[in-house]
Amino acid sequence: MTKLQGKKAVVTGGAMGIGLATCKRLIREGCDVTIWDLNQEEMDKARKVLEGMGGKVFAYHCDVADKERVNELAVRAEKDMGRVDILINSAAFVRAGKFLEIPVEDSVKQIDINVNSMLYTIHALLPGMMERNSGHIVNIASGVAIAGTPGLAAYTTSKWAVWGLTDVLRLEVMAEGKKGVKFTSVHPGNITTGMFEGFKLNWLGRIIYPPVKDHDVIAKGIVESGLKWNIHIVCRPRGLYNGILMRGWVPDFLFARLVLLFGVGDCVKNYKGRKGFIHSDPDAE
């Protein structure tokens, strides 16, 4: 088991939701934490909370889809903390709606923030980990990366990409003999508050894949399973692991019908979550 005491972490989207819950757990483990977030007001609140827990915290306003800003802050994080041992890519953006019913620009923005930002953050911070042969990168994917979700086409696409990116980078560092550099993809199910408030499966779907009560359930999976025990794929609820097995064993036509039977086709009907944004955004309506 990996000890986290004294580790230095960067958490994108660390002002709210999964990011903030993970920061709290990292502080309790004795880590120093740097937060990057677009929402300055929430980030200021988060910093006060984390410092009140006794943590050493750095916080910077950051649009993670801005490569130059990410590169600038990567250098800053290494100066502030001495090095970066852990990168948690938690920042995300979602706009619910059928693919043809939302502006294509919203779909592109989801790819920029959910995928391209990870290319920037990892490209900036992985070299130091490779040089030291030590580090852990955790990318937040989603349960929708296991089964596609109508009404979340671009978001689903982005989270499949996150899973694939995490998997191939793990293989690349293994091929380089850098056994000390680890990768984890995290697949949250339906969290009932925050970004996905109102997202809901039918009664059968909720029995098979029960909702996640709060963000700390995911944060616990990140810290306890991902970082401490180096679990490569972390699913919460754990029933999502069955979805991965079903993908391999159940014929596609039957898998699709099962997914729809669980209510996936109408799951965004009553979607509310933060007007579709995980960060405040000047263009939000």
CATH, residue 54:
3.40.50.720
Question: Is residue 264 domain-resident?
Answer: yes
CB 146 within 8 A of CB 102: no
Question: Is residue 199 domain-resident?
Answer: yes
Burial class (CB in 10 A: 0-12, 13-18, 19+), 1: exposed
Where residue 148 falls among pLDDT bands split at 50, 70, 90? confident
Give percent of the chain above pLDDT 90.
73
pLDDT given for residue 285 in this prediction? 29
Q: Is the pLDDT of residue 125 over 50?
A: yes
State whether residue 15 is helix, strand or coil: coil
Quote the mean pLDDT of the chain. 91
Question: Is residue 70 domain-resident?
Answer: yes
Q: Say how far apart CA 163 and CA 187 lie, in whole Å.
A: 9
Q: Say how far apart CA 11 and CA 260 lie, in whole Å.
A: 35
Q: Is the dihedral of CA 156, 158, 163, 164 positive or negative?
A: positive
Query: Exposure string (b/e) for 115-152, b if CB count within 10 Å is 16 or more?
Result: bbbbebbbebbbebbbeeebbbbbbbbbbbbbbebebb
Question: Is residue 237 domain-resident?
Answer: yes
3-state helix, strand, coil in the chain (%, to 5): 50, 15, 35
State whether residue 254 is helix, strand or coil: helix
Q: Say how far apart CA 209 and CA 206 lie, in whole Å.
A: 5
Q: Which helix (H) or strand (E) holds 154?
A: helix 153-175
Question: Is residue 163 domain-resident?
Answer: yes
Q: Say how far apart CA 261 and CA 100 lie, in whole Å.
A: 23
Least confident of 157-166, 258-267, 275-284: 275-284
Catalytic positions: 155
Q: Say how far apart CA 54 and CA 33 lie, in whole Å.
A: 11
Domain count for the chain, please give it: 1
Q: Mean pLDDT throughout 180-196?
A: 86
pLDDT given for residue 282 in this prediction? 31
Identify the CA nearest to 188 among candidates 239, 247, 113. 239
pLDDT given for residue 272 in this prediction? 64
pLDDT given for residue 253 in this prediction? 87
Q: Is the pLDDT of residue 277 over 50?
A: no
pLDDT given for residue 96 in this prediction? 87
Q: Is the pLDDT of residue 46 over 80?
A: yes
Question: Is residue 2 domain-resident?
Answer: no
Question: Is residue 244 domain-resident?
Answer: yes
pLDDT given for residue 207 in this prediction? 80
Q: Say how far apart CA 103 and CA 158 lie, in whole Å.
A: 16
Question: Is residue 203 domain-resident?
Answer: yes
Q: Say how far apart CA 202 and CA 220 lie, in whole Å.
A: 26
Which tens digit of pLDDT belongs to each residue from 198-244? 667 777 777 878 888 899 999 999 999 999 999 999 999 998 998 89
Residues spanned by the domain of 81: 8-276
Identify the CA nearest to 146 among candidates 248, 244, 212. 244
pLDDT given for residue 278 in this prediction? 36
Token pair recorded at residue 170? 């793990």
